[in-house]
Homo-oligomer: A and B are copies of this chain.
Amino acid sequence: MKKTTVTLVDVAKLAGVSVMTASRALNDDESASKKAREKVRLAAQELGYTPNTLARMMKGGRTNVIGVIVNDLSSVVVNAFATAVSDAVRKYDMDLFIYSSQTGLEHGKGQQMSQLLHGLWDGLIYVLPRLSPDYLKQLEADTSHPVVLLNYCRETSLPVVRADNQSGAHDAVSHLVELGHRRIAFVSGTAHTGQSPERELGYRSALESAGLPLAPELMREGDFNEISGLEAGRALLALSEPPTAIFAANDSMAMGCMTAVREKGLRIPEDISIIGFDDIPMAGAIQPGLTTLRQPVAAMAQAAVQELMRRIQNQPGRRQRIEFPSEFIIRGSAGPAAGKRTRARRAGV
């Protein structure tokens, strides 16, 4: 029967001081003599002591844990954010947990979540493009725990770090227009995340500025996954008058579209131009490179963590809403519209 956990009491005993002194020493409290600190540190090391975070947080003290709440880990972007946050957190010497709730927060059950491990974390970062109104309301009401929303696209009084989707999308589509494209398709992602609608707004406004009509048959609904892009691409190319350019609400779908184009034996960008959104790693690696928009993920994650830490440390938050511009990355997948209007008909392929 081994003693399984070594507690602060053990350390104090070994160091020959009181528990309190040990506590202070390990927390680098100024009001502990250097000698004592050293003794305690050694004792702790010898015993392989690890502070019991649980006990610490019971006292309402800092836990040095930041939580990230995520709904869909399989999403490349969510992943990228989670990873970026993970990196950013490291700088503050905090630990990080990811709580993955597929549906939890959206369908009422989330009620419990915010309190579930109440006290476990010093602060919470939500990486959910979507949040149920109820849950959001709860979150806004609960001021006892610092919270930052990352990549959240709707209105809220909570601090938000996000990218400018709309003007990014506007830029992309305008670029296509300048290249001479007139029939520009849009492949949307799932509508409930604020992301896709915003990008669609940019698409619409760019068309409008250019005086181009909005063709319903050129707007396809995807779900942010590559497969849906593939299907949308196939459908678009099967039109009697297919588009000469496709703007997809994210890179995965854009790559699906590229696959669809190649299946048809068409070339990119000579026959069809394609633009995505997100600048996932593959975008730069393929031939031709995918023209796309980059959200400064790392910078955003850093900003989110920084804002959160500020609040955790009771410093005044800097801003309620930090918006990063999306950077337009021009690669080879978008080119001039084929001057040859010889496409005419290619039925039955």
Please encode chain A, from 93 to 108, with 1 for each CB lying within 8 Å of some chain B CB and 0 for all others: 0011111101000000
Complexed CA–CA distance, A74 and B82 (Å): 9
Count A-side interface residues using an 8 Å CB cutoff.
Answer: 50
Which of B55, B87, B100, B285 contacts A98 (CB under 8 A)?
Answer: B100
A86 within 8 A of B: yes
B79, A120: Cβ atoms closer than 8 Å: no
A323 within 8 A of B: no
B112, A50: Cβ atoms closer than 8 Å: yes
Residues of B within 8 A of A210 (CB): none
Please encode chain A, from 242 to 276, with 1 for each CB lying within 8 Å of some chain B CB and 0 for all others: 00000000000000100100110000000000000
Complexed CA–CA distance, A312 and B49 (Å): 25
A54, B227: Cβ atoms closer than 8 Å: no
Which of B73, B102, B112, B256 contacts A73 (CB under 8 A)?
Answer: B73
Complexed CA–CA distance, A139 and B259 (Å): 46
A100, B74: Cβ atoms closer than 8 Å: no
CB A28 to nearest CB in B, in angstroms, measures 17
With contact pairs A82-B100, A83-B100, A100-B98 given, residues A53 and B226 touching in the complex (Cβ less than 8 Å)? no
Please encode chain A, from 272 to 287, with 1 for each CB lying within 8 Å of some chain B CB and 0 for all others: 0000000001100111
CB A341 to nearest CB in B, in angstroms, measures 27
A33 within 8 A of B: no
A349 within 8 A of B: no
With contact pairs A54-B54, A285-B226 given, residues A99 and B96 touching in the complex (Cβ less than 8 Å)? yes
B287, A227: Cβ atoms closer than 8 Å: no
A151 within 8 A of B: no
Residues of B within 8 A of A179 (CB): none
Chain A residues within 8 Å of B, Cβ to Cβ: 4-5, 48, 50, 52-55, 57-58, 65, 73-74, 79-80, 82-83, 86-87, 90, 95-100, 102, 111-112, 115-120, 142, 144, 225-227, 230, 256, 259, 262-263, 281-282, 285-287
